[in-house]
Amino acid sequence: MPERALPTLSTVIAAASAALGRAGVASPRVDAELLAAHVLGVSRARLLTASATAPQVAEIERLVARRAERVPLQHLTGAAPFYGLELEVGPGVFVPRFETELLVEWALARLGSAGRVVDLCSGSGAIALAVATQRPDSEVYCVERSESALPWLRGNVDRLAPRVRVVEADVRDDAFLSGISGTADMVLCNPPYVPEAAPVDVEVAEHDPHEAVFAGGDGLDLMPAVARAAARLLRPGGRLAIEHDDTQGESLPALLLAAGGFDEVEDHRDLAGRPRFTTARRTGGAVAWQDGSP
């Protein structure tokens, strides 16, 4: 019998896109193309002129089947793009989202020369590494407590910016980085902030670490500790930026103002017009929280 003809790459991608669409994946065509590009070792733009061998077609189909089960795309490729970087990610670490690039843009626009920056709840290191690679004159610290996230963080730092300092600590601990208290120019943070009852995508619910996503009934459980740590670390005039849930555009600024020690508190929206992150300036005054709660 004649050997069965191998389907063209465009046919494989079309079938993959249809399968992912039926599975409820938000961007089926994009994901199908990215998986194909990953297997072939080419850029997505090169797919129009690329071809696939039988083993490569089988591998694309295997990965598409896993993506149809809502395994995150980044877990299948092993990488998450962020601010021009390729971060290694996988089970145990939060996958960075492009919305957080807006916080990085804000920080870079305001960071002076040779700035000292602390990234709290660092996860994969996305924020810290974006700042460190864009501003090689800066002194950057990553703070993370999760035993499952730390290997990913250390691996990304070692590969992309070895001078960045990784600190294993909980933001609720008042002792970490005590040697630089009152000297940081900027504290940045993408903490867990989703309210426990909020609906989330399957990829988030089943694959992102719960402690990296959810933070109590209103999603604000960790915010007092973040603000208290920032108040201790920042010099007077230093800047704070915290990403938040789109339901917290008023509650987080109000929380910072109630604490004292900050002024110029402002909320910022993302490209879709949703509240996305809050910024503030350290005044040097005392803050109201001494026990981790407002």
For residue 191, indicate whether it is catalytic.
yes
190 is in an annotated binding site: yes
Catalytic option among 190, 214, 224, 277: 190
Mapped onto helix, strand or coil, the DSSP state of residue 195 is coil
193 is in an annotated binding site: yes
Catalytic option among 72, 191, 224, 253: 191
Can you name the residues that pair with 281 across neighbouring β-strands? Answer: 239, 263
For residue 277, indicate whether it is catalytic.
no
For residue 224, indicate whether it is catalytic.
no
141 is in an annotated binding site: no
Q: 109, 144 in Cβ contact below 8 A?
A: no
Please give the backbone phi and psi of residue 96, each rounded to the nearest 5 degrees, phi first: -65, 145
Tell me the DSSP string of 20-44: HHHTT-SSHHHHHHHHHHHHHTS-G
Residue 210 contacts by C-beta under 8 Å, 6 or more apart in sequence?
none
144 is in an annotated binding site: yes
Catalytic option among 82, 94, 214, 277: 94
The label of the residue with tokens 């108040």 reads 231
What is the rounded distance in angstroms from the CA atom of residue 24 to the CA atom of residue 27? 9
**What's the distance, Cα to Cα, between the start and end of the chain in Å?**
76
253 is in an annotated binding site: no
Residue ranges for the known binding site are 144, 190-193
Residue ranges for the known binding site for S-adenosyl-L-methionine are 144, 190
Residue ranges for the known binding site for substrate are 190-193
Residues annotated as catalytic are 94, 190-191
